[in-house]
Amino acid sequence: MDHLTINQAKIEREKLVNELDLYLEQKEVNFIKTQPKSPIMRDVIEGKSDSFKITDKYTHYLIKDEEYDDKIFALQKSINSYEKYIINEMERINKAGGHYLIKYYRDVERFSWNKISRLTNYSLRQCHYLYKK
């Protein structure tokens, strides 16, 4: 069974954040369309032929917003679960300490040796030794 790495979790989280931004933007557009003096609403109303009757535009967008709300809620839950996973994995690595932590900082986060030394309170020489271990 393949385990999800912290880096993979971060990538998935970013994808979900991008999708969340998309739905939030679509919801904002729907909100603008429901406003009485909205230029978008005026264009929609004036641009339609006489045979087309607008019955209840507000209800139409409200139903769409409910669909967006469901997706937004699900995305937020997923993002939170990935963040919790990342935090738990970081705590696990931190508890293991030593070479696991240094390997993570160097390979995943791509930190410099000086920064790793400052974060772990090890000397540069100890960091290199533990990394090779």
Instruction: Please write the tens of the pLDDT for every residue from 78-133.
Output: 999 999 998 898 888 878 777 888 888 898 889 999 999 898 888 999 999 988 87
- Ordered by start, the domain boundaries in the chain are 1-96, 97-133
Contacts for 73-81: CB closer than 8 Å, 24+ residues apart: 75/16, 75/19, 75/20, 75/23, 76/20, 78/16, 79/13, 79/16, 79/17, 79/20
pLDDT band for position 64 (50/70/90)? confident
Contact 79, 107 (CB under 8 A): no
